[in-house]
Every structure is written in C-alpha cells, then in structure tokens.
Amino acid sequence: MRADLVAGILLLWPVVGTLLAAALCAVLRHRPDWQRATMEAATGLMLAASLGLLAEVSQNGPLTVGFGGWPRSFGVSFTADRLGAMLSVFTGIVGLVVAIYARADIGPRRRGAGFDALFLAMLAAVNGAFLTGDLFNLYVWFELMLVTALGLTVLDRRRAQIDGAIRYAALSMLGAAFMLLGIALLFGEAGTLNMADLSRALNGRAPSLALVASAFLLLSGFGLKAGLFPFFSWLPAAYPTAPMTVLAGMAGLLTKVGFYACLRVLVLVFGLGTAPVIPGLAPMLGLLAAATMVLGVLGAMAQEDTRRILAFQIVASIGTMMMGLALASLAGLAAAILYMLHSILVTTSLFFAAGAIARANGSTDLNRCGGLMKRQPMLAVYFAVPALSLAGIPPFSGFWGKFVLVQAGFLSGGALLALVLLATGFVTVYSMSQIWVEAFWKAPGSGRAPRRVPPAMLAAMGILAFLILAMGIGVEPLSAFAREAARGMVPGAAPAGGGA
C-alpha cells in the first residue's frame, strides 16, 4: 500500500484543499469577484488532484492515509479505490461546470450571502464521503452536506425556500438518527467502524438481532438521503426551491452519495452478493428499487414545471441504480456503477437546461414557455443530448447504462426488475418529450420572443453534452472500469485494503 507524500496530497486535496478554499471565500465575502475567482480555481485544482488520484489508484492499487497514529479501528482514515477516485473526478467535473454556470446565474448578492463558501464546503463533504474509510466519518460528511445544502437552499431567503429547507432538514435529521443508531449497533457487534475491518469481522458471522437492526437502520438512513422509496417525498418538495445553479449541483451529487453509501456498506460490510450477513436483503432491495422507479416516473408525468419533472426523474434514477444493487451480482454492481456515473452528468446537465429555459422564458412552468427551437438552437441541442441519454436512446450514455442493467437483470435472475426498467424507460421518453414540445417546439406562451441565454450557461451545458456523448460513444473503457471497480468492492475479489 503506497502512502508517499505526493499520493497522500492527491488523496487529501479534494477534501482539505477545497475546505481551505471555502474558508477563503468566507473571508472574501465582501469581494464577489475574488470569491468567484477562488471558486473557479479551487474547482479546477480539485479536478486536477482527483484525476491524479485516479491515475495513482489505477496504477498502484487502493491508497489509505491515517491520522494521529491511532489504530485503524478507531482513527480517522481516508481511503481511495477505483470507485471512490472516479467519483471524486466526477465531483470535480460538476464543481467546475457549476462554477462556469454561476457566472451567469449567481450575482454579487448571492455571493455575498455565501454561495461560494457553502458550495465549496458541500463539494468537500461529497469528496469526503467518497474517500472516507470508516462509517462514523461517513456520517460526519453527510452532516456537513446537510448543513451546506440547507444554506444553499435558502440563499435568496424566500418563504418557499425556507419551507423546503425545513422539510429537508427534518427528514435529513431523521435519516441521521437512523444512521447513528445503526453505526452504534454495528460498533457494539464488531468493535470497529473501519469498513475493511468490518468486512473481515462480519464475514461468515451468523445474523443476530443487532446486525439485522443495524443493516435496516443504515439502509433507511442512506435511502432517505438518496430519495429511495418510501422516503423520497421530501426531494420534489425541497429541491425545486433552491436557486437553479445550486439545484443542478445538489441534484447531480447529493442523492448519488446516498446511493454510494448503500452500495459501499451493503456490499463491503454486509456481504451482499457474496456471503450475505442478512438473509433476504436482496429481494427487499428489488421491491424498493421497482417502487422507486415506478413512482418516480409517474410523478414526473403528472408535473408541468420543469424543476419538478426533473426532481421526480432523480427519484426514478435512484431506483434504477438500486436495481443493480438488488441483483446482488458482480454484473449488477458494475451496471449500477456505470449508471451512477452517467446519472451524475445527465442530471446536472438537465437542471442547467431547466435554468436556461427559465432564463429565456421567464418561468419554469411549461405552459408559459415556448419558441426556443427557433430562437435558441444551441440550447435545444444541449437539452436534447442529456434528455435523450436519460430516456435511454442510443448511442448516448443512458442507453448503455440501461442496457447493461437489463442484461445483468436477465443474467442474475432479475427479469422482472429488467422489465420494470424497460417500462419506466418508455415513460421517461414521454416526460422528456413533454419538455421538448412545450419549451422548444410550440410558440412562446406569453407571445413574446424568448430572451437570450447567457454564454456561460451554454458553455457549461456544452461541456456536459460533450462528456455525455463521449461516454456513450466510448463506453467500453468506462464499462471495463465499472467492472474492475465492482470487483474491487467485493471482499476476496481483489486485493484488500482500507475501505476498498
């Protein structure tokens, strides 16, 4: 296990360096131009460090750094394997495009209210969750995400934002209570919270009441954070109240952290897919995945506001990822990882497009939109790419993500889940075509020509559209990476180390 100075810096920088930049932005709160420059530089450096970390881990294997000389069972440790490093890269991409998009959407007042500091701290927390090696620190990073997300949600101090933030906070604190109770029970059973040590301690252990309760409490806490059925109602209520730049970043990352925690803990700690500690866990996850997919797309069908349509699509995408976990096989895990990477970029891009549509038409209500195909052809292209990808149309990344999930479903005895995924895919096509027809094809609802979309918005969407298309065309290397990452998560399938 390598832990030299350069590798250690690469591992720590996405968290520590980003937190230092957040602190600097807080000091510069009366200088919006300096805040903006700091955020843009910090997200660029974070992406560069994450790319270096991914190269290091791919070449030399999992990397772990501990602090304070404490035994691993009690100390704070950062761990990077292939999956954690790649997710840190995608966090850096989202952070950078959000910084670009913010040039058009975040003015001096919002920067003075703390946008830059809060968003950078949220990115640091996301990276901390992806790179932590123990369960308690995973909980800590979730709490930092909550605090920063609440600050970002109420950035404009509007009543609707405060109402949404209260709902978000109440249910998130309930999820935190579930997580803490589950962690406490697990520590009582195994005497450690390091995930790699937990995997070894629980391997072959007969299920006890404490272990079963811990698994279901942790699943409830992580599922609530992710927006999994039956805990998803807060998401369409709270997310659309945030400023669009904030909403795009939160939608792209935060629910994925919840799913990542489910993936990491249920597979590594509780042996899902190899030697499950909790019998019957996979079938229950299948039911939750199917319900989340179905209710997500049905909720999207019933909406006329672009933000709420996309918020319900977030719910459906979490169900799609959970399907891969429910299959309890290497093929299912690899498919879930591939779909998660696709979903981060597509979700962020679609909310960027929703913000651009609102800027052009003055509203997110589809009844008041229209005329963008003629007036804003590049915006139409930049919306079409992620929309077609979300719907699973080839050759975009979403097609391959759903294809490998369906394939894994039929190969792993989950044919019914595969059929549910195919059915919900058709409904997704409908909801995306609804936005396309109402916002782009029909005449403007107000009778006025749409306003010009700022170049910064188009630039951010253009970068993501390119990456989404590249993921679809060059899917094989990414698919191979997902398979290797899945093997690295399963105990005994790859060299053990840290939390890998």
Percent of the chain with pLDDT over 70: 93
Go through the chain and tell me how many residues it has: 500
pLDDT given for residue 288 in this prediction:
92
What's the mean pLDDT in 101-128? 91
Residue with the larger pLDDT of the pair 105 and 203: 105
- What does pLDDT average to over the chain? 85
Q: What is the pLDDT of residues 76-88, one digit of tens each?
A: 778 888 899 999 9
Both tokens of residue 179? 């997580």
Q: Residue 84 belongs to what H/E stretch?
A: helix 82-105
150 and 122 assigned to the same domain: no
**How far apart are the C-alpha atoms of 420 and 391, rounded to whole Å?**
14
Q: Is the pLDDT of residue 382 over 80?
A: yes
Peptide bond preceding 455 in cis form (omega within 30 of 0): no
Q: What is the pLDDT of residues 439-472, one digit of tens each?
A: 888 776 555 667 788 899 999 999 999 999 998 8
Domain count, the chain: 2
The one-character DSSP state at 258 is H
Q: What is the pLDDT of residues 245-274, one digit of tens each?
A: 988 998 889 889 999 999 888 888 887 766
CA 235 to chain centroid:
13
174 and 62 assigned to the same domain: no
- Least Cα distance to 115 among 131, 104, 99 occurs for 99
167 and 305 assigned to the same domain: yes
Percent of the chain with pLDDT over 90: 30
Q: What is the pLDDT of residues 432-446, one digit of tens each?
A: 888 888 888 877 655
248 and 276 assigned to the same domain: yes
Instruction: Point out the least confidently predicted range of 175-179, 365-369, 418-422, 457-461.
Output: 365-369
Cβ contacts of 233-238, under 8 Å, gap ≥ 24: 234/167, 234/168, 234/171, 234/172, 235/311, 235/314, 235/315, 236/299, 236/308, 236/311, 236/312, 236/315, 237/164, 237/167, 238/153, 238/164, 238/165, 238/167, 238/168
* Amino acid identity, position 62: P
322 pLDDT tier (thresholds 50, 70, 90): very high
HSE of 455 in the Cβ direction (CA atoms, 13 Å)?
0
495 pLDDT tier (thresholds 50, 70, 90): very low
322 and 350 assigned to the same domain: yes
261 and 327 assigned to the same domain: yes
pLDDT given for residue 294 in this prediction:
93
Domain range for 38 is: 1-133
pLDDT given for residue 338 in this prediction:
92
CA angle 352, 42, 114 (to 5 degrees): 65
**How far apart are the C-alpha atoms of 247 and 52, rounded to whole Å?**
28
**pTM of the model as a whole:** 0.89
138 and 122 assigned to the same domain: no
108 and 142 assigned to the same domain: no
Asked which of 133, 162, 191 is the last residue of a domain, the reply is: 133
Instruction: Point out the least confidently predicted range of 1-10, 81-90, 163-172, 251-260.
Output: 1-10
Q: How big is the chain by its Cα radius of gyration, in Å?
A: 21
- The CA-based dihedral angle spanning residues 121, 124, 128, 129, taken in that order and rounded to the nearest 10 degrees: 70
Residues 408/332, Cβ–Cβ less than 8 Å? yes
Q: Is the pLDDT of residue 116 over 50?
A: yes
pLDDT given for residue 277 in this prediction:
67
**How far apart are the C-alpha atoms of 266 and 276, rounded to whole Å?**
9
Residues 338/479, Cβ–Cβ less than 8 Å? yes
* Amino acid identity, position 13: W
Asked which of 133, 158, 186 is the last residue of a domain, the reply is: 133
Q: Is beta strand 77-80 parallel, antiparallel or unpaired with respect to 63-66?
A: antiparallel
HSE of 382 in the Cβ direction (CA atoms, 13 Å)?
27
461 and 378 assigned to the same domain: yes
Asked which of 133, 163, 195 is the last residue of a domain, the reply is: 133
pLDDT given for residue 281 in this prediction:
83
